[in-house]
A and B are shown apart, each in its own frame.
Chain A
Amino acid sequence: MKRNVLVVALVVCVLGLLSLAGWANWQNRVHRAMHDQETANQAVLVADKTPTGDSVAHMFSPLVGKPAPAFTLTNLKGEKVSLASYKGKAVQLNFWATWCAPCKIETPWLIELEKQYSPQGFEILGVSFDDLDKDDPKLLAKDKAEIEKGVADLKISYPVLIDGDSIAKRYGDPDVFPTSLFIGRDGKVVAASFGLTSKDDLEGNIRKALGEGK
Chain B
Amino acid sequence: MKNSILLALALPLTAILATAQSSIPGVTSHPEAKPAAVAYLFPEQVSVPAGKPASVDLHFKVAEGLHVNSHTPRAEELIPTTLKFPETGDVRLAKADFPPGKDFTLSFGSDIPAEKLSVYTGEFIIHTELVAAKGEHLVQASLRYQACSSNTCLPPRTIPVAIDVIAK
Chain A contact residues, CB within 8 Å of chain B:
3, 6-7, 10, 13-14, 17-18, 20-21, 24-25, 27-28, 31, 35, 39, 97-105, 108, 129, 131, 146, 149-150, 175-178, 194-197
Q: Are A99 and B2 in contact (CB under 8 A)?
A: no
**B contacts with A: majority SS:** loop
Contact with A along B128-154 (1 / 0, CB 8 A): 000000000000000000101111111
Nearest A residue to B10 via CB reads A10
Contact with A along B5-18 (1 / 0, CB 8 A): 11001001100110
Q: Are B25 and A27 in contact (CB under 8 A)?
A: yes
Chain B contact residues, CB within 8 Å of chain A:
1-2, 5-6, 9, 12-13, 16-17, 19-21, 23-25, 28, 30, 32, 34, 77-79, 106, 108, 112, 115, 117, 146, 148-156
Q: Are A196 and B1 in contact (CB under 8 A)?
A: no
B63 to chain A, nearest CB (A): 14
Taken together as a complex, chains A and B put the C-alpha atoms of A189 and B9 apart, in Å, by 57
Q: Are B79 and A17 in contact (CB under 8 A)?
A: no
A contact residues around B115 at 8 Å (CB): 101, 104-105
Q: Are A14 and B13 in contact (CB under 8 A)?
A: yes
Taken together as a complex, chains A and B put the C-alpha atoms of A111 and B148 apart, in Å, by 23
Nearest A residue to B5 via CB reads A7
A200 to chain B, nearest CB (A): 11
Q: Are A35 and B153 in contact (CB under 8 A)?
A: no
A contact residues around B146 at 8 Å (CB): 99
Q: Are B155 and A177 in contact (CB under 8 A)?
A: yes
Given A18-B16, A27-B23, A28-B28: A150 in contact with B77 (beta carbons within 8 A) = yes
For the complex of A and B, 5 pairs with smallest distance between CB atoms: A195-B152, A196-B151, A31-B25, A24-B23, A21-B20
Given A14-B12, A131-B156: A98 in contact with B77 (beta carbons within 8 A) = yes
Q: Are A17 and B148 in contact (CB under 8 A)?
A: no
B contact residues around A7 at 8 Å (CB): 5
Nearest A residue to B157 via CB reads A175
- In the complex, 20 of the A-B residue pairs with CB atoms within 8 angstroms, ordered by the A residue number, are A6-B5, A14-B13, A21-B20, A24-B20, A25-B20, A27-B24, A27-B25, A28-B25, A31-B25, A97-B155, A99-B156, A101-B78, A101-B106, A102-B108, A105-B108, A108-B112, A129-B155, A146-B77, A196-B150, A196-B151
A contact residues around B79 at 8 Å (CB): 99
Most B CB contacts (10 A, CB to CB) among A28, A101, A105, A176 go to A101
Q: Are A176 and B153 in contact (CB under 8 A)?
A: yes
B contact residues around A39 at 8 Å (CB): 32
Q: Are B25 and A97 in contact (CB under 8 A)?
A: no
Q: Are B23 and A28 in contact (CB under 8 A)?
A: yes
B contact residues around A99 at 8 Å (CB): 77-79, 146, 153, 156
B contact residues around A177 at 8 Å (CB): 152-155
Taken together as a complex, chains A and B put the C-alpha atoms of A98 and B77 apart, in Å, by 6
Nearest B residue to A25 via CB reads B23
A contact residues around B9 at 8 Å (CB): 10, 13-14
A182 to chain B, nearest CB (A): 18
Nearest B residue to A109 via CB reads B112
Q: Are B30 and A35 in contact (CB under 8 A)?
A: yes
